[in-house]
DNA sequence: CAAATAGTTTAGCCTTGGCTAACAATTATT
DNA sequence: AATAATTGTTAGCCAAGGCTAAACTATTTG
């Protein structure tokens, strides 16, 4: 080590933040996030299709494209995937429908989404912001946290 | 419309959940999430490098690989990207270091991460769960919500 | 009913973020 | 010093999720 190069500082040079978690636990944090990201988009599609069916009576690819701010080609490709996964049934130029499994996923997702949204509002977050945050947060909230959020909302917003 | 096929239900058949937001607002929700996902991994790398530097004095690719539960090849590739983005400096078989910009990003990310983590703990979430949830949520929490979380934590955990 | 408009699909391209396998360089052990 | 073990890089593969452009189908309208 003869060169006068940039050297790591001693570990005591700063004392903010928590300690590093043990490697296995730390690894699990990131793994869980990666897993969530694998299903996230699927869930959002299925949830949106469910919402469109409920509120509009039908779910067309074009609506999904504009509501997601994505090209119709992107939606078309995704619908094929949802089909292969057995979550939707689709026939060209007809409304999409959810399979039994798709319907279950839509309900679960919507329930979770609502809990997070209502929680944020109960916390005091403005509606528009709450909606944006909830859209991303919903996929990363454990059942444990979800339950706590629900209780909080009930207590603070009768 | 001559065939007796599956028909959309009338929009009034169920009345749960909120109404659909206007298209532009709805679109913005998804766009914000997509944007967050673009920077998410970069932030996690930079934050982890910062944490390793602070707590261990050095940040080696191998540590990142095991803490993220990802192959070394993946880390190696990512480090090249971080380099190109001007966030880290690296020389083979030496510790990584953060550039000025990288350091700033690491601090910002850690601060945000800590706020979310402490908030979840203050809410009553168990530590392990809170850590997992925070890892994913942190990237989807607006400044507005962040501020509210911080105030909440201060009030409920002196 | 013909033409215009709107909706849908397909093909082909790109980036990101994973992986494995093979190789290279450094560091540790005997 | 030689060998072993660890660490890092590179090449090449893959899937997901975007995009545009072009073609096709359905619906609406003049
Ligand atoms: Mn979502
Ligand atoms: Mn996410
Ligand atoms: Mn983080
Ligand atoms: Mn994170």
Instruction: Write out pLDDT tens, residues A68-116.
Output: 999 999 999 999 999 999 999 998 788 999 999 999 999 999 999 999 9
Residue A2 belongs to some domain of the structure? no
Arithmetic mean of pLDDT over chain B: 91
CA of A132 to the centre of ligand 2 (A): 12
For residues B37 and A38, is the Cβ–Cβ distance under 8 A? Answer: no
Alpha carbon distance B134, B116 (integer Å): 6
Q: Which residues touch strand D (CB under 7 A)?
A: A 37-38, 40-42, 69-71, 73-74, 77-78, 81, 92-93; B 34, 60-62, 72-73, 75-77, 79-80, 90, 92-93
Output Rg (C-alpha) for chain A, integer angstroms.
Answer: 21
Q: Does residue B15 or residue B30 have the better pLDDT?
A: B30
Nucleotide minimizing C1' to CA distance for residue B80? D9
Per-residue pLDDT, B13: 36
**pTM recorded for the entire structure:** 0.90
Shortest Cα–Cα distance, A157 to chain B (Å)? 16
A80 CB inside 7 Å of strand C: yes
As given in the structure block, the two tokens for residue A66 are 């504009």
DSSP state string for A89-116:
E--TTS--EE-HHHHHHHHHHHHHHHHH
- Do the Cβ atoms of A20 and B51 come within 8 Å? yes
- Does any CB of chain B come closer than 8 Å to the CB of residue A108? no
Chain A positions in Cβ-Cβ contact with residue B43 (cut-off 8 Å): none
Residue B123 belongs to some domain of the structure? yes
B42 CB inside 7 Å of strand C: yes
Residue B59 belongs to some domain of the structure? yes
Residue in the block written with tokens 């679109």:
B27
Q: Tell me, what CATH number does A101's domain have?
A: 1.10.10.10
Nearest CA in chain A to B145: A125
pLDDT band at B92 (very low <50, low <70, confident <90, very high): confident
CB-based contacts of B143, cutoff 8 Å, min separation 6: none
DSSP E strands in chain B: the ranges are 88-89, 97-98
Tens-place pLDDT, residues A33-62: 999 999 999 999 999 999 999 999 999 999
Residue B110 belongs to some domain of the structure? yes
Residue A7 belongs to some domain of the structure? no
- Does any CB of chain A come closer than 8 Å to the CB of residue B67? yes
Residue B4 φ/ψ, nearest 5 degrees: -80, 75
Arithmetic mean of pLDDT over chain A: 90
Closest C-alpha among B66, B49, B98 to residue A27: B66
Number of structural domains chain B divides into? 1
Alpha-carbon torsion B127, B153, B44, B47, what sign? negative
Q: Is the pLDDT of residue B5 over 50?
A: no
As given in the structure block, the two tokens for residue A87 are 């979550």
- Do the Cβ atoms of B17 and A140 come within 8 Å? no
With H, G, I as helix, E, B as strand and everything else as coil, classify residue B33. helix
Which H helix or E strand runs over A56?
A: helix A23-56
Residue A5 belongs to some domain of the structure? no
Residue in the block written with tokens 């850590």:
B131
Alpha carbon distance A82, A57 (integer Å): 20
- Window from A113-117, B92-96, B109-113, B115-119 with minimum mean pLDDT: B92-96
Instruction: Compare CB distances from A67 to B11, B27, B52 and report the shortest one's residue.
Output: B27
Alpha carbon distance B28, A39 (integer Å): 20
Residue A41 belongs to some domain of the structure? yes
Domain containing B27 equals: 23-156
Residue A55 belongs to some domain of the structure? yes
pLDDT band at B115 (very low <50, low <70, confident <90, very high): very high
Tens-place pLDDT, residues B42-81: 999 999 999 999 999 999 999 999 999 999 999 999 999 9
């Amino acid at each position: 080590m003869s060169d006068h190069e940039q050297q790591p500082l001693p570990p005591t040079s700063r004392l903010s933040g928590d300690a590093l978690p043990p490697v296995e636990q730390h690894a699990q944090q990131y793994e869980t996030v990666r897993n969530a990201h694998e299903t996230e988009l699927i869930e959002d599609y299925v949830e949106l299709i469910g919402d469109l069916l409920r509120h509009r009576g039908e779910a067309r690819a074009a609506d999904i494209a504009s509501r997601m701010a994505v090209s119709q080609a992107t939606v078309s490709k995704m619908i094929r995937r949802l089909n292969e996964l057995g979550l939707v049934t689709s026939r060209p130029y007809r409304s999409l429908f959810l399979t039994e499994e798709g319907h279950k996923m839509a309900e679960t997702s919507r329930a979770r989404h609502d809990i997070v949204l209502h929680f944020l509002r109960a916390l005091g977050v403005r509606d528009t912001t709450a909606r944006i945050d909830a859209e991303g947060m919903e996929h990363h909230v454990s059942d444990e946290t979800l339950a706590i959020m629900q209780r909080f909302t009930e207590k603070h917003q009768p």
